[in-house]
Amino acid sequence: MKNLSWYIAFRYFISKKRTQAVSFIMYTSLTAIAIATCAMFVILSVFSGLESFNIKLFSDVNPDLRILPATGKTLPDIDNLEKKLSAYSDIKAFSKVIEEKVYVVFNEKDEIAYLKGVDKNFLKVVKIDTCFQAGKFPNISSDNQAAFGNALAYRLGVPINKGSLSLYMPKPGKKLISNTDDAFEKAGVYMTGVFALNDQYENYIFVPIQVSQKLLNLPPNSAFSIELKVKDNVKSLQNKLKRDLGKKYIILNRQEQDASFLKMMKVEQLFIYLIFILVIIIATFNLAGAIIIIILDKKNQSKTLIALGYTISKLKKLFLTIGIIITLFGVMLGILLGTLLTWLQANFALVKANPFMPFPVKFDFYNYLIVLITVLFIGFFVSFLSSRKLNF
């Protein structure tokens, strides 16, 4: 009997209707579901592509692991920490880092920037030297070289290897200031290169670590963090370091370092998903109308089925099945169309975010699952409510 219900429902779906309006409404509802499904899949694929793209982009400047102090800003017992890290065969390289805000002045122009002091091993840990638009990374043994983010260099109008910039850092202390020169530590640098990454790093300045130590009045071997390049199995090493180093240190992997950014992307993706749920609900208004119209169109056939022993309950299930069939065809058509559009974007870059970069997309099984479950559930629910309208 169950198979018979599906057979009758499918015949009702494909059979010629008494009026063209019934067919028009039914296929309009199918098309609306297909378009909404396609749009949801494409947008979710774009978000997946953006997430993968940003994680890859961050991998050029963010280390595999970062060690931070659990309290305070300076790493405690750093000499012993370096000895322990040197003993790990899984660690390819590690670099001491000092990162702090700094006041930059050049030719009467000034900006607040982020200063990142790094040691000689830094380029073994990250690949920022591959991201330079012009010039090169500063010589770490120098006390007056710096690399600037492209936006910061543009605003200040700094030429490469010409002109000295002044970096100012407030001095710690609680006494009253009688002279402004006593309020700041100052260092003079010139720009050796300009790098371009993403919005987060466009206001960064990379300098040798000794420049940061001088500006902050720190001892020679001090650092705010240590960044690690791992040979393989980052998660395993992270757990091992947490166990061996104790509670004095915090060890973050790459995803945890960008947790706020990735969380923001997830929130944006959730809001887009909720908006598309609303779009699909609106699209299924056509489905509700189509089922009601089909009920009216098949009124005589329904009376015949009742005369043959078909109950009202089974008849309602029959029209519910018709709604499910319309939804299934709409979802399949939408998924196929969405897959085609995503494939075309991935291979032929139909739409570009800027003149040089297409919108990234990514095929993800999770996206297929989300779209299928969402649309089928809404379609089933609307079909169920609409089939309840059957009344003789």
The pLDDT tens digits of the residues spanning 219-239 come to 999 999 999 999 989 999 999
> Which residues on adjacent β-strands are paired with residue 100?
115
Q: What angle do CA 355, 356, 360 make, to 5 degrees?
A: 105
User: Which residue in 3, 23, 16, 2 sits closest to 290, CA to CA?
Assistant: 23
| Strand residues in 64-199 grouped as ranges (E) | 65-69, 91-106, 109-118, 132-135, 145-149, 165-170, 184-195
Residue 276, pLDDT score? 94
Q: Can you list the residues of the chain whose pLDDT is less than 50?
A: 1
Which two three-digit tokens encode residue 153?
A: 């260099």
Extents of the domains making up the chain: 2-58+261-387, 65-256
Tell me, what's the pLDDT at 232?
86
**Furthest-apart CA atoms within the chain: distance in Å:** 103
* CB-based contact 265:50 (threshold 8 Å): yes
Q: Which two tokens stand for residue 388?
A: 């309840």
pTM: 0.76
Which residue type does 136 have? Answer: K
SS (H, E, C) 256-289: HHCHHHHHHHHHHHHHHHHHHHHHHHHHHHHHHH
**Beta strand 65-69 pairing with 249-253:** antiparallel
Token code pair at residue 359? 């919108």
Give the burial class of 297: count Cβ atoms within 10 A of its Cβ; 0-12 exposed, 13-18 middle, 19 or more buried.
Answer: buried
> Quick one: pLDDT at residue 151?
93
Which residues, including other chains, have CB under 8 Å from residue 228's CB and lie 6 or more apart?
63, 64, 65, 66, 67, 85, 91, 93, 94, 125
How high is the pLDDT of residue 296? 85
